[in-house]
Amino acid sequence: MPTPAVRLRLIDIVAIAAALYASSVLFPFAIDKLTGTGSSIEGFAQIGAGLGVDPTFFRYFVGVQELLVALGLAASLVAFLAWLPAAQRLARFGVQLAAPGLVATMIGALATEYLVRPGQQDWLVAIALRLIAVGVPLTVWSVVRFGWRPRI
């Protein structure tokens, strides 16, 4: 039977792997939105018309938000480097904001797919559900592991 310290370390490793997975899935979507490649321009034209907002502004807004979430999740790699205390605090702060940000972003994506966009794309719904399934436990882990209030 592993000791509590070993169990905690294993949980941390699984959480970091989950954060890196979510980051690697979200990052390309953010880059597509920010560079205007892929089907992002067409998709945001539909979304902009449905919401009554400028599609280019909204595409950039969502792209920046997704990029910040992806970078915050990737920061989990640095969250345990005790020999870099300033970077460690900043990384923990990033994870504490990015994990619930991932859940909120994916809930918004699901709402957009079902309520705004004409005819949802099942593959986007599947990715959003998968990321919510990763983001909820990551949020719990970040609160339990690093505290309730993010601190820099």
Cα separation, 41 vs 45, in Å, equals 6
For residue 64, what are the domain limits?
A: 4-146
Residue 102 placed within a domain: yes
Residue 91 placed within a domain: yes
Cα separation, 145 vs 8, in Å, equals 9
Burial of residue 150 (number of CB atoms within 10 Å: 0-12, 13-18, 19+): middle
pLDDT at 1: 75
pLDDT at 152: 65
Cα distances from 9 to residues 16, 108, 145, in angstroms, run 10, 33, 11
pLDDT at 143: 93
- Residues of the chain under the 50 pLDDT cut: none
Residue 151 placed within a domain: no
Residue 152 placed within a domain: no
Residue 9 placed within a domain: yes
Residue 68 placed within a domain: yes
Domains: count for the chain:
1
